[in-house]
Amino acid sequence: MAGENGIVSGMAGRYATALFELAVEADAIDAVKRDLEALDGLIAASPDLARLVRSPVFGADEQARALGAVLEKAGITGIAANFLEVVASNRRLFAVRDMIRGFKGLVARHKGEITAQVTVAEALNEAHLSSVKDALRSVTGKDVQVDVTVDPTIIGGLVVKLGSRMIDASLRTKLNSIKHAMKEVS
């Protein structure tokens, strides 16, 4: 499945695909997705948890114990918890965020959803987010889930990735274009 659909590949893709197939079989796609998103949010918010997940210094047992405590505290159970424990015991926790991303991609494809990665210089309010979603809906003709990343280095504007297409309307890119044009003139 991972090879067929082009969404996920490599080791993280194989794990994501296996989890997706288990979730489909157990009719628990939404519950697993919710649990994985909760863990992903915890990793993003906690530098200590991110270090635990990424660092090869921690042994499989240490990672499994610490992850077990995090899962219990976060209320993550069932298929997602079992999957994460297997990932930790197999020393693959460093790739868990890629696995989560791959799983979410498989779920979106299964449900016929499209996800766009939008990078902005500062957080969007609800009105701006709604405008972005409406614009993407008018282009694709489908409901679009928006995955927003804040990157102050783009200065302003936004960068949108939708499938294989990318639109870079960032101020940084426009300034770089002007800079290159000025160099050619001189």
pTM of the model as a whole: 0.70
Let me know whether 102 and 27 are in one domain: yes
Q: What is the CATH number of the domain that holds 99?
A: 1.10.520.20
Let me know whether 106 and 140 are in one domain: no
Q: Mark which of 85, 110, 135 sits at the end of a domain.
A: 110
For residue 161, give the 3-state DSSP assignment: strand
Give pLDDT, residue 115. 85
Let me know whether 22 and 68 are in one domain: yes
Which ranges in 26-159 belong to alpha helices (H)? 29-45, 47-54, 60-74, 78-89, 96-111, 126-140
Give pLDDT, residue 142. 84
Q: Domain of 167?
A: 113-185
Let me know whether 90 and 14 are in one domain: yes
Let me know whether 69 and 49 are in one domain: yes
Domain tally, the chain = 2
Let me know whether 84 and 96 are in one domain: yes
| Averaged pLDDT, groups of 10, the chain, 186 residues long | 53 95 96 95 92 89 92 94 94 93 90 89 92 91 87 93 91 91 84
